[in-house]
Amino acid sequence: QITLKESGPTLVKPTQTLTLTCTFSGFSLSTSGVGVGWIRQPPGKAPEWLSLIYWTDDKRYSPSLKSRLTITKDTSKNQVVLTMTNMGPVDRATYYCAHRRGYSSSGVFDYWGQGTLVTVSP
Protein backbone atom coordinates (compact mmCIF):
# COMPACT_ATOMS: atom_id res chain seq x y z
CA GLN A 1 0.00 0.00 0.00
CA ILE A 2 1.47 3.30 -1.13
CA THR A 3 1.17 6.25 1.22
CA LEU A 4 2.75 9.68 1.23
CA LYS A 5 2.68 12.44 3.81
CA GLU A 6 3.87 16.01 3.61
CA SER A 7 5.43 17.83 6.54
CA GLY A 8 6.79 21.29 7.09
CA PRO A 9 5.84 24.72 8.40
CA THR A 10 2.28 25.89 8.03
CA LEU A 11 3.33 29.54 8.23
CA VAL A 12 6.33 31.26 6.68
CA LYS A 13 7.25 34.92 6.45
CA PRO A 14 7.63 36.76 3.15
CA THR A 15 11.06 36.29 1.55
CA GLN A 16 11.73 33.19 3.66
CA THR A 17 12.56 29.77 2.23
CA LEU A 18 9.99 27.00 2.51
CA THR A 19 11.24 23.47 3.13
CA LEU A 20 8.77 20.62 2.75
CA THR A 21 9.42 16.94 3.32
CA CYS A 22 7.50 14.10 1.73
CA THR A 23 7.81 10.84 3.66
CA PHE A 24 6.49 7.82 1.84
CA SER A 25 6.01 4.09 2.22
CA GLY A 26 4.97 1.20 0.03
CA PHE A 27 7.53 1.87 -2.70
CA SER A 28 11.20 2.68 -3.14
CA LEU A 29 12.71 5.57 -5.01
CA SER A 30 15.41 3.21 -6.19
CA THR A 31 12.89 1.25 -8.27
CA SER A 32 12.99 1.79 -12.02
CA GLY A 33 10.20 3.95 -13.38
CA VAL A 34 9.32 5.57 -10.08
CA GLY A 35 9.29 9.22 -9.19
CA VAL A 36 7.89 11.64 -6.64
CA GLY A 37 6.37 14.94 -7.59
CA TRP A 38 5.21 18.09 -5.85
CA ILE A 39 2.01 19.84 -6.78
CA ARG A 40 0.41 22.82 -5.09
CA GLN A 41 -3.14 24.11 -5.12
CA PRO A 42 -4.14 27.62 -4.02
CA PRO A 43 -7.51 27.74 -2.24
CA GLY A 44 -10.31 27.44 -4.78
CA LYS A 45 -7.95 27.05 -7.73
CA ALA A 46 -6.56 24.31 -9.93
CA PRO A 47 -3.50 22.27 -9.03
CA GLU A 48 -0.13 23.51 -10.28
CA TRP A 49 2.79 21.16 -10.86
CA LEU A 50 6.05 22.23 -9.23
CA SER A 51 8.72 19.57 -9.47
CA LEU A 52 9.57 15.91 -10.04
CA ILE A 53 12.44 13.65 -9.06
CA TYR A 54 13.00 10.17 -10.48
CA TRP A 55 14.78 7.09 -9.24
CA THR A 56 17.73 8.06 -11.44
CA ASP A 57 17.97 11.39 -9.58
CA ASP A 58 16.75 13.10 -12.75
CA LYS A 59 15.06 16.32 -11.62
CA ARG A 60 12.40 18.38 -13.37
CA TYR A 61 11.04 21.80 -12.48
CA SER A 62 8.18 24.02 -13.52
CA PRO A 63 9.70 26.54 -15.94
CA SER A 64 7.98 29.46 -14.21
CA LEU A 65 9.32 28.51 -10.76
CA LYS A 66 12.58 26.81 -11.68
CA SER A 67 14.79 29.53 -10.20
CA ARG A 68 13.14 29.16 -6.80
CA LEU A 69 12.88 25.38 -6.47
CA THR A 70 15.21 22.59 -5.43
CA ILE A 71 14.19 18.96 -5.08
CA THR A 72 16.27 16.22 -3.49
CA LYS A 73 15.76 12.65 -2.38
CA ASP A 74 17.02 10.47 0.44
CA THR A 75 16.34 6.94 -0.71
CA SER A 76 17.42 5.38 2.57
CA LYS A 77 14.90 7.46 4.51
CA ASN A 78 12.12 7.23 1.89
CA GLN A 79 11.95 10.99 1.76
CA VAL A 80 11.85 13.74 -0.85
CA VAL A 81 12.51 17.33 0.09
CA LEU A 82 11.36 20.42 -1.79
CA THR A 83 12.69 23.89 -1.06
CA MET A 84 11.14 27.05 -2.43
CA THR A 85 12.93 30.34 -1.92
CA ASN A 86 11.64 33.88 -1.62
CA MET A 87 8.13 32.97 -0.50
CA GLY A 88 5.38 35.52 -1.02
CA PRO A 89 1.64 35.82 -0.34
CA VAL A 90 0.79 34.32 -3.76
CA ASP A 91 2.49 31.10 -2.68
CA ARG A 92 -0.25 30.38 -0.17
CA ALA A 93 -1.52 26.96 -1.14
CA THR A 94 -1.93 23.36 -0.15
CA TYR A 95 1.24 21.54 -1.13
CA TYR A 96 0.95 17.89 -2.14
CA CYS A 97 3.53 15.25 -2.89
CA ALA A 98 2.54 12.39 -5.14
CA HIS A 99 3.89 9.07 -6.40
CA ARG A 100 4.76 9.25 -10.07
CA ARG A 101 4.36 6.13 -12.15
CA GLY A 102 6.22 6.18 -15.42
CA TYR A 103 9.41 7.88 -16.54
CA SER A 104 8.16 9.91 -19.45
CA SER A 105 5.71 12.57 -20.45
CA SER A 106 2.95 9.99 -20.07
CA GLY A 107 3.69 9.36 -16.41
CA VAL A 108 0.87 9.79 -13.96
CA PHE A 109 0.47 10.91 -10.34
CA ASP A 110 -1.38 7.87 -9.05
CA TYR A 111 -1.09 8.30 -5.30
CA TRP A 112 -1.22 11.59 -3.43
CA GLY A 113 -0.45 12.70 0.08
CA GLN A 114 -3.07 14.47 2.15
CA GLY A 115 -1.45 17.84 1.55
CA THR A 116 -0.27 20.59 3.84
CA LEU A 117 -1.55 24.15 3.77
CA VAL A 118 1.19 26.77 3.76
CA THR A 119 0.40 30.39 4.50
CA VAL A 120 2.77 33.30 3.89
CA SER A 121 2.35 36.18 6.29
CA PRO A 122 4.48 38.54 8.37
Binding site for other proteins (CB under 8 A): 37, 39, 45-49, 52, 60-64, 96, 105-106, 108-115
Q: How far is the CB of 110 from other proteins (least distance, A)?
A: 5
Q: How far is the CB of 8 from other proteins (least distance, A)?
A: 16
The answer for residues whose C-beta is within 8 angstroms of residue 70's C-beta and 6 or more apart is: 82, 83
Q: How far is the CB of 122 from other proteins (least distance, A)?
A: 27
DSSP three-state, residue 68: helix
When the beta carbons of 55 and 111 are compared against other proteins, the nearer one is 111
Contact, 109 vs 50, CB < 8 A?
no
When the beta carbons of 2 and 11 are compared against other proteins, the nearer one is 2
DSSP three-state, residue 57: coil
Q: How far is the CB of 121 from other proteins (least distance, A)?
A: 21
When the beta carbons of 13 and 57 are compared against other proteins, the nearer one is 57
When the beta carbons of 3 and 16 are compared against other proteins, the nearer one is 3
For the chain, how far is it from start to end, CA to CA, in angstroms? 40
Neighbours of 28 (CB within 10 A): 12
Contact, 117 vs 51, CB < 8 A?
no
